[in-house]
Amino acid sequence: MYRKSSSAVVSELDTLLPGDYLLVSTGRKHYQLAGLARAVVLCLNGDALSLDEIQERVVAQGLDCSPDRLAQTLVRLVEFSILSSAETSPPGPRRRWSEGLLHRYLTLKVNLLPADRVAPVTRLLSILFDERSMRYALPSLLALQIAFCWAYFGKLVPIVPKLSAAAFAWLAAGNYAALLMHELGHASACVANGIRHGPIGFCIYLIYPAFYADVSECWRLPRSGRAIVDAGGMYMSLLCGSLCSVIFLATQQPVWGLVAILCDITVFWNLNPFIRMDGYWLLSDWLGVQNLMSVNREMTWWTVRRVFGRRQPTPLILSSDYPLRFLYLTYYLGFLIFFGYACSQIAIHYVPDLVRTYPELSSNLAASLRAFREVRAVGKALFYWLLGTLPLVWILLLVVRCTLALVRAIRGSAVNKEAGKWPIPTH
Amino acid sequence: MQEPKKAEQQSSDSMEIVELDERLDMAFDPLSMIAAIKTGPPNTNCNNTQCCGGGKPM
């Protein structure tokens, strides 16, 4: 007998992609179900049914459903803890040995503030995230902060090297407080929309230090609600930046002006839609295309296979309605230009510099370790060696992954056979 | 023709259950990024391991 797992919450998925989808949330994981898997979950909702009964109900819905195919689908639904079965104990999702140590795109991920610790603050701040007021306040604050940066960036930034140690400590404190407020903005927007948020933490994205708020549960919201959560961080940064700007204008203390500029830089960087930052999630929710980065990958490998004359199902995004298809393809073109530009910069600047400096950095580290006299000197040599090594490891991993995917694409096998990892069902 | 059809069916089946991305709303630390950019690449002409372990910032 099969029944819906007690931890699985079923709801509709708000998307603009063609087809009918179901969203199933099992604690921290969220799944999009289509076709037979969707039909099975719908017919099981609340009931416990045998394999034969499920097949009977699914066939009655007019779906092609051989016993083998249905059995495979049921096994996978049990594996992902979406269904539970009396016959087989659920093994839980398959885990790799590296899971927990390595993240898919983060070099390092550390939870700093558990959700329940920040809950009193996010409840309090949630009153700021009213959709109607945000609609007017966000563009107005953005325009004001652009004007502030325009007027004061050139005057304030040259002051940084002249700041006293105490003033620099205040600047750093203001910067990290503003970053915490940014993440609290995302989490508070979740509370305002009636969903739970996850922890707030520190991560290293490629080589860049960053803070994050886990807002995965917002998949359960309609697209407009998701957009509020996405914009929540920038909205909070703009509020902090505006407050600091006003204090600076009133007191003429440069630290306040510099904190305002740092808040604005955070907002401007976050508008980038080509890496997984707020602008990316905003665009993904506005377009109604979930797992946008995976769709980009799918498009790329589909094009590669076409070039090599391989028969391949057309990506679903190309079967969507005209405005969505046009908007996505425009974005995809921008993504290719951005990716190409980033790769060319790495090839022109980073690689030759690394080839020139890396052997010396390594020998310096070895020398400082041999003549171990001062921990500070060894620490510095190690820091510079790591600074050179981390991007190298990341580039090598990227090259290996791209090469393997390219070989698979040319040979005609599926790029990603991993269950549940492929982004969007193809047409 | 059986093999590609079978592969296509398997591929379509595996895509019926798709794990949605973990949503981590990130914000880069602008201060450390500015500091890294301002520091620039290490100058490996400096071999003084006493002051900075070599690789003194330019």
Identify whether A378 is part of a domain. Answer: yes
- Do A323 and A238 fall into the same domain? no
Identify whether A383 is part of a domain. Answer: yes
Q: Give the start-end residues of each E strand in A1-134.
A: 2-4, 8-12, 22-26, 29-33, 48-49, 83-85, 106-113
Identify whether A98 is part of a domain. Answer: no
Q: Which two tokens stand for residue A113?
A: 């503030």
Interface test with A, best of B12, B13, B20, B25 (most A CBs within 10 A): B25
Q: Which of B16, B51, B52 sits opposite A73 (nearest CB)?
A: B16
Question: In Å, how far from its chain's centre is CA A259?
Answer: 26
Give the pLDDT of chain A (427 residues) as one tens digit per residue. Answer: 888 888 888 988 999 988 889 999 987 799 999 988 998 888 887 778 888 888 888 888 877 778 888 888 888 898 888 888 876 555 555 555 444 445 566 767 889 999 999 999 999 999 999 988 999 999 999 999 999 999 999 999 888 888 888 998 899 999 999 999 999 999 999 999 999 999 999 988 777 788 999 999 999 999 999 999 999 999 999 999 999 999 999 999 999 999 999 999 999 999 999 998 999 999 999 999 999 999 998 999 889 888 888 777 888 899 888 899 999 999 999 999 999 998 888 888 877 877 888 888 888 888 888 776 677 777 777 877 877 777 777 778 878 888 887 887 777 654 444 434 444 443 3
> Given CB atoms, is B47 within the 8 Å cutoff of chain A?
yes
- Do A358 and A398 fall into the same domain? yes
Identify whether A279 is part of a domain. Answer: yes
Task: Please check whether residue A51 is in contact with residue A71, taking contact to mean a CB–CB distance below 8 angstroms.
Answer: yes
- Do A55 and A172 fall into the same domain? no
Identify whether A156 is part of a domain. Answer: yes
- Do A262 and A207 fall into the same domain? yes
Residue of chain A whose Cα is closest to the Cα of B16: A34
ipTM: 0.81
- Do A235 and A327 fall into the same domain? no
Residues of B in contact with A210 (CB under 8 A): 26-29
- Do A350 and A221 fall into the same domain? no
Give the separation between CA A221 and CA A227, rounded to whole angstroms: 9
- Do A309 and A283 fall into the same domain? no
- Answer whether A175 sits within 8 Å of B52, measured CB to CB: no
Cα dihedral sign, A63-A324-A299-A98: negative
Residues of A in contact with B55 (CB under 8 A): 357, 360-361, 364, 380-381, 384-385
Smallest CA–CA distance, residue A360 to chain B, in Å, is: 6
Residues of A in contact with B51 (CB under 8 A): 377
pTM above the 0.95 mark?
Answer: no
- Answer whether B17 sits within 8 Å of A378, measured CB to CB: no
Structural domain of A366: 305-411
Residue of chain B whose Cα is closest to the Cα of A353: B41
Residues of B in contact with A37 (CB under 8 A): 16-17
Number of domains within chain A: 3
Q: Which of B15, B28, B52 sits opposite A380 (nearest CB)?
A: B52
Task: Please check whether residue A361 is in contact with residue A388, taking contact to mean a CB–CB distance below 8 angstroms.
Answer: yes
Residues of B in contact with A381 (CB under 8 A): 49, 52-55
- Do A283 and A311 fall into the same domain? no
Q: Which two tokens stand for residue A295?
A: 């769709």
> Given CB atoms, is B12 within the 8 Å cutoff of chain A?
yes
- Do A266 and A369 fall into the same domain? no
Give the separation between CA A266 and CA A272, rounded to whole angstroms: 11
- Do A126 and A157 fall into the same domain? yes
- Answer whether A216 sits within 8 Å of B14, measured CB to CB: no
Identify whether A136 is part of a domain. Answer: yes
Identify whether A199 is part of a domain. Answer: yes
Interface test with B, best of A13, A70, A384, A413 (most B CBs within 10 A): A384
